[in-house]
Chain A
Amino acid sequence: MSVVSSLPGRRGADMLRRAWDSDIAYSFRQSKVTMVAAAVTLVYFVFALFAPWIAPHDPYDLSSVSLMDSFMPPVWEEGGDPRFLLGSDDQGRGILSTIIYGSRISLAVGFASVIFAAVLGVTLGLIAGYAGGAVDAFIMRVAEVQLSFPAILIALLIDGVARGVLGNEAQGDIAYFVIILSIGLSFWVQYARTVRGSCMVEKNKEYVQAARVIGVRPALVVFRHVLPNVLGPVLVIATITLALAIITEATLSFLGVGVPPTSPSLGTMIRIGNDFLFSGEWWITIFPGVALAVLVLAVNLLGDWLRDALNPKLR
């Protein structure tokens, strides 16, 4: 919340230096597992961002897909085609290309729903924590009711309702929004509860009272004073729920209520492959499954590290 904008250029190098020397950077350099996890996550990000340039072909472009190429085994198996390194699926889409494009969807949906859940949860948590009383009780009871349902059930419910209301024709265009909305709505509770707790601690601190003495409006006090001081735990929850959101998206897609089948995500691929698992075409489901597991594991490890690194009691 730096309002004074008097940062000369020399600060740039200075800040880099300080970031490198900081506790977080040190703990990062000390943990090999974390560095590997970060590298893996980075690779996924690069793949997701530059999918059109990295993937051998575009599996979403129907004109480049030929049914003649369907059920190709991986290149090292008998009958493998060098065009399809990891084989192809029932429509003739290359598994490798689909994984690259699919992790793009997984990450995009994961990030969007985490941001949605975080904004919603942090806002409600701040309101509940700062206002207290009946407002607090109401928000927290809603949160507790929601917490007693599994997240996937809530996502399925919202998804089902949205489909029922909007009909199947509109499904293709809004499928992404529906899935982001449903995943986001099923994860906001953790943010709200954490932020509410921190907010109740912060609002009684004297710097908050100092702002109130000047007469700063409650909304501004919360936004400018309380919010920056409760964001630490939010970052940790965001990393951990990112992995959860990716899994939830895959689960929804696996159940056939996720993203449209014309643009398969990792979950869709696993579902498609599942049908052919017993007829010997194992690669359709195994490779996306491994890709999903590795991505989720890497993000989870990053989240665990961040949680420990930011916990002052573990330093």
Chain B
Amino acid sequence: MAEVAAPQGPVATGETLLSVRDLGKTFDVSAPFLNRVLQGQPRVHLTAVDDVSFDIPRGSTFSLVGESGCGKSTVARLVVGLYRPSQGRVEFEGTDLARIQTRRQMAPLRRKWAMIFQDPYASLNPRWRVADIVAEPIRYHGLLSGGQAIRTRVGELLELVGLSALDGEKYPHEFSGGQRQRISIARALASEPDFIVCDEPTSALDVSVQAQILNLMKRLQRELGLTYLFISHDLAVVYHISDYVGVMYLGRLVEWSDARLLFSNPRHPYTRMLLDAIPDLEMSGRARTPVGGEVPSPIAPPAGCHFNPRCPFADERCRSETPMALKVGVGEVRCHAVEEGRLPEPESA
């Protein structure tokens, strides 16, 4: 295997802000109790996230990519505490979140992170004025007291994301998708968080608006020193914004690395297939390997490496033994072929 260059680019200070270790989440998707008893159906479990580990240095952007249903949104929800992990742990600034029992102890941590959602039409309460939506974190955490102070702060936040302070009086339905996403960002910034989880924040937007929102997010990161966990299935967007990229497949993190390295020198066969599928002017006319096959059902994933039915390099070992994470440069790869060094060098290196 080729040697890997030292990480470049990230403005990270080296300190780890968020650390995810062996994270797993299983959902019970069984039929209702009566159906199970009457029709003799067994309990059915879906493993949405399986043994995922990664670190995010302060001030950097870590992206998770993958096909629909690969568990990337579940990771996002686990990280912000919307779901409880079935196994593993999430550490934020060195604190294990699972050890925190009460809501009161959790509150000072909760104001340090925020989440931006995918659908700007569903993520703002349609019955609330924008000012109330943006002010909710401020009020809930008791960061400011007095109506005037909160109003001023909300105005500042709205102007920070490129809206007018007067927009606070309006209702969400009076705004376009891009403007709504700006409101979501303003709300996310309201508690002055260090860490923002972005669950496909641009995939519901027009391409031109996507670029505006991404540039806004990058500018805010520079100015406020934010750390992002960025969930997306759009590799072009990910390339634009990320310092690190992790690739997920059927609940497992198959590869993560420095963003430039991952795009220039992908290791895992799945990552190569994904990158091959990006439409690209330079590549037009050239034959490309299509991503073959369907994603298997996450309820009954294939044994061994989950990717083996679609992988051109799969052998007997891949079909029986789950690959372990292998340290490669800054990142990690889970692939027997990479470990054994029997993978050909990618064409577009």
Within 8 Å CB of A210, what residues of B?
115, 117, 123, 184, 187
User: Do residues B141 and A214 form an inter-chain contact, with CB atoms below 8 A?
Assistant: yes
Closest chain B residue to A212, Cβ basis: B82
Q: Can you report 11 residue pairs joining A to B where beta carbons are below 8 Å apart?
A: A1-B127, A4-B135, A6-B147, A6-B151, A209-B82, A209-B117, A210-B117, A214-B111, A214-B114, A215-B81, A228-B127
Residues of chain B at the chain A interface (Cβ within 8 Å): 77, 80-82, 103, 106-107, 110-111, 113-115, 117-119, 122-129, 131-132, 135-137, 139-141, 147, 150-151, 168-169, 184, 187, 191
User: Do residues A213 and B81 form an inter-chain contact, with CB atoms below 8 A?
Assistant: yes
State in angstroms the CA–CA spacing of A6 and B131 once bound together.
Answer: 10
Closest chain A residue to B134, Cβ basis: A4
State in angstroms the CA–CA spacing of A206 and B118 once bound together.
Answer: 8
User: Do residues B82 and A213 form an inter-chain contact, with CB atoms below 8 A?
Assistant: yes
User: Do residues B103 and A214 form an inter-chain contact, with CB atoms below 8 A?
Assistant: no
State in angstroms the CA–CA spacing of A213 and B81 once bound together.
Answer: 7
B106 touches which of A3, A205, A211, A215 (Cβ 8 Å)? A215
State in angstroms the CA–CA spacing of A170 and B293 once bound together.
Answer: 77
User: Do residues A1 and B132 form an inter-chain contact, with CB atoms below 8 A?
Assistant: yes
Within 8 Å CB of A205, what residues of B?
122-123
A216 within 8 A of B: yes
A32 within 8 A of B: no
A91 within 8 A of B: no
Within 8 Å CB of B125, what residues of A?
207, 211, 225, 228-229
The 4 closest A-B pairs by CB, nearest first: A206-B123, A206-B117, A228-B127, A215-B110
Closest chain B residue to A207, Cβ basis: B125
Beyond A214-B110, A215-B107, whether A2 also contacts B140 by CB under 8 A is no
State in angstroms the CA–CA spacing of A3 and B107 once bound together.
Answer: 22
Least Cβ–Cβ distance between B189 and chain A, in angstroms? 13
Least Cβ–Cβ distance between A144 and chain B, in angstroms? 13
A5 within 8 A of B: yes
Query: Which A195-235 residues sit within 8 Å CB-CB of chain B?
Result: 205-207, 209-217, 225, 228-229
Complex interface bits, A237-272 against B, C-beta within 8 A gives 1, otherwise 0: 000000000000000000000000000000000000
Within 8 Å CB of B82, what residues of A?
209, 212-213
Least Cβ–Cβ distance between B192 and chain A, in angstroms? 13
State in angstroms the CA–CA spacing of A216 and B118 once bound together.
Answer: 21
Beyond A3-B139, A5-B147, A206-B122, whether A213 also contacts B131 by CB under 8 A is no
State in angstroms the CA–CA spacing of A4 and B168 once bound together.
Answer: 10
User: Do residues A229 and B126 form an inter-chain contact, with CB atoms below 8 A?
Assistant: yes
User: Do residues A4 and B131 form an inter-chain contact, with CB atoms below 8 A?
Assistant: yes
State in angstroms the CA–CA spacing of A3 and B122 once bound together.
Answer: 21
State in angstroms the CA–CA spacing of A6 and B168 once bound together.
Answer: 10
Least Cβ–Cβ distance between B249 and chain A, in angstroms? 25
Within 8 Å CB of B127, what residues of A?
1, 228-229
Within 8 Å CB of B119, what residues of A?
206
Within 8 Å CB of A228, what residues of B?
125, 127
State in angstroms the CA–CA spacing of A4 and B169 once bound together.
Answer: 9
User: Do residues A216 and B140 form an inter-chain contact, with CB atoms below 8 A?
Assistant: yes
